[in-house]
Amino acid sequence: MSKKSLLVILLFAFLLAGFVQGASASPNVFEFQVVYKGVTYPVEVSSNSTITDFDFNATTMELSFNVTGGDRTVGFSNVSIPKGLLWAEPIEAWKVYVNESEVPPVVTQNATHTMIYFTYDQSTQRARIVGTDVGTGVDITGDGSVNIFDGVELAMAFGRGSSDPDWDPKLDLHIDGIIDIFDIIVWAENFGSKI
């Protein structure tokens, strides 16, 4: 057998192996709008699986969803979570479960979001991502209502951006990396609400 024939056979075997394991599948992007305490938080899931039945539970501090894909393939999901909604301190405290079995995540973050990547054997399974803290929503002070005290917190942080050393993502109600008039508008639209 010539080197060229052997190379073609090996290349075909690698391509076939990648196809069977799902490595050649390009990701789909799913965006879910989580409304929590007066703020809409976009959570984005990039995955080669189909994502359904998305849910946020503030009490258990977790996001959950179904992942569905072809049998005998490897699935992956990369979930982008706004830090104002859900986070974990320290970063190693994030937990990921697929059908109640813990799987090791790869966790990265920037000033406004945490990205959590994990893999699993595909079929239809339930994935859960558990943090250690949830945001305050528009009730920044956590006193149960949207009032002037929350406005004072916003005013004191006005103009700060995600690159500032004293950045607090829970104040970024508009989720754009800066405390500005759009955050004040979200606060004003909810002023007087009981949370």
CATH of residue 155: 1.10.1330.10
Q: 129 and 37: one domain?
A: yes
Q: 166 and 77: one domain?
A: no
Q: 126 and 43: one domain?
A: yes
List, for residues 117-145, the tens digit of each pLDDT value: 999 998 999 999 999 999 888 889 888 89
Expressed in percent and rounded to 5, the helix, strand and coil fractions of the chain are: 25, 40, 35
Indicate whether 9 pLDDT > 60: no
Query: Within a domain: residue 154?
Result: yes
Query: Within a domain: residue 10?
Result: no
Report the C-alpha dihedral over residues 96, 67, 80, 40, rounded to 10 degrees. -110
Q: Could you give the number of structural domains in the chain?
A: 2
Q: 38 and 98: one domain?
A: yes
Q: 97 and 171: one domain?
A: no
168: containing domain:
148-190
Q: What is the pTM of this model?
A: 0.76
List, for residues 45-101, the tens digit of each pLDDT value: 999 999 999 999 999 999 999 999 988 889 999 999 998 899 998 999 999 999 999
pLDDT of 153: 94
* pLDDT tier at 12, thresholds 50, 70, 90: very low
2, with CB counted inside 10 A (0-12, 13-18, 19+), is exposed
